[in-house]
């Protein structure tokens, strides 16, 4: 489908209220109706591989330290620290100070993030399947 055809259909779906379009930094972000501001802030985070690994780790264990996140995700300490800071700014993760043990991280809205990760994983699986099928489509 051409770009102009896609734009036409997106405009039409937006006008009828079937999708919500938000202009963000030169990009059009598309959401289903009924999505709140907090959910819109989390959607882009779930799409990024590094943020997705960190969020997925925090759904399996509700409270983790930076060191534990590094071990679970197999990411460098600096990478985890940088992405955790972004997740905190976005309101997806919060810090928790536990006595003498130090700083730990937990999800702000664990159920919502769990659902978003589940839907994103299904989309990734579909895309991988489509790409694999395209390899055999001569």
Can you give the residue range of the structural domain that contains 27? 1-35
pLDDT at 138 over 50: no
- 19 and 58 both lie in a single domain: no
- 91 and 108 both lie in a single domain: yes
Do 73 and 80 touch, CB atoms closer than 8 A? yes
The DSSP H or E segment spanning 117 is: helix 110-136
Number of domains in the chain: 2
Question: What's the confidence (pLDDT) of residue 93?
Answer: 94
Q: What is the number of helices (H) and of strands (E) in the chain?
A: 6, 5
- 58 and 116 both lie in a single domain: yes
- 17 and 63 both lie in a single domain: no
What digits encode the pLDDT tens for the residues 100-137?
888 999 999 888 888 878 776 555 556 656 665 666 55
116 Cβ contact partners less than 8 Å away, ≥ 6 residues apart: 39, 42, 43, 46
- 77 and 120 both lie in a single domain: yes
Q: How far apart are CA 79 and CA 70, in angstroms?
A: 9
Read off the pLDDT band of 79 (50, 70, 90): very high
CATH number of the domain where residue 40 is located:
1.10.10.10
- 28 and 42 both lie in a single domain: no
| Percent with pLDDT over 70 in the chain | 86
């Amino acid at each position: 489908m051409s770009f102009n055809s896609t734009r036409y259909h997106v405009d039409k779906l937006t006008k009828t209220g079937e999708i919500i379009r938000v202009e963000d930094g030169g990009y059009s972000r598309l959401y289903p109706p009924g999505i709140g501001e907090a959910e819109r802030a989390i959607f882009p985070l779930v799409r990024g591989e590094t943020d997705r690994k960190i969020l997925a780790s925090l759904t399996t264990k509700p409270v983790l330290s930076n060191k534990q996140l590094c071990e679970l995700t197999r990411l460098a300490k600096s990478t985890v620290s940088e992405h955790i800071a972004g997740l905190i700014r976005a309101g997806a993760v919060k810090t928790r100070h536990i006595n003498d043990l130090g700083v730990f991280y937990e999800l702000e809205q664990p159920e919502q993030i769990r659902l978003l990760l589940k839907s994103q994983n299904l989309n990734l699986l579909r895309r991988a399947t489509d790409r694999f099928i395209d390899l055999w489509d001569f």
